[in-house]
Amino acid sequence: MDEKFLDFEKKLGFAFSNKKLLKEAFTHRSYINENKNCGWSHSERLEFLGDAVLELVATDYLFHKYPDVTEGELTSYRAALVNTQSISEGANQWGMNEYLLLSKGEAKDEGKARQYILADTFEAVIGAVYLDKGYEIAQDFIAKSLFHKTDEMVKKELWRDAKSRFQETAQEIESITPIYQILKEEGPDHDKRFTVGVFLEEEKVAEGEGRSKQEAEQKAAEKALKEKEW
């Protein structure tokens, strides 16, 4: 096993029994395309598993932390806690960028695409930890990575749907209903990227990027709120 992955285990505070799992968690599909005979797979199956574990752990935590909050608000809390930005920040907290196995081309791109890769890697690491060490250790890893954000998220209402907030405020202040338009669509079907603009009549207030139109619209609305200082 590479020295760098041993270093990551030190950060985690435990060693993997199946070292291959950890390496796979950090392996992007593009790396396998360039290194077809490397002897291990990419991270996407682990990411699929980790996403489910993350959702369960976050749901259980929020359910018990906020006993008087409705199901609808808890859903919004969870969405904010485990969105791409939040979990990519969790990945950065552990320095995961240093351990990524990427193609030469992908390694050069340090922009928005890297945030998505880090978010995916974070979920893949959860999947690997769950398989190798079980639910409680995976739960502890998620707690250390994300749960400290919750109090500020709730206090500042960062969980509220940005599109709804922007629409309510735009209608209240300017008597205009925002319109969203797709400005750009890139990538293959399994890895689409959308760029969406939010407009107040003819004025383009902001743009947002996401893996779905809905995510891009939310990002655009978040930026629009900041742009308008609402």
Which residues are the active-site residues?
A: 51, 123
Structure tokens, 32: 């396998």
- Tell me the backbone φ, ψ of residue 2, rounded to 5 degrees: -60, 145
Q: Which residue has the tokens 């791109």?
A: 109
**CB burial of residue 107 (10 Å; 0-12, 13-18, 19+):** middle
Calpha distance 109→229 (Å, rounded): 31
Task: Give ∠ CA 225-148-160 in degrees, rounded to 5.
Answer: 30
Amino acid at 103: S
The full DSSP string for 163-201 is HHHHHHHHHHHH----EEEEEEEES-GGG-EEEEEEEET
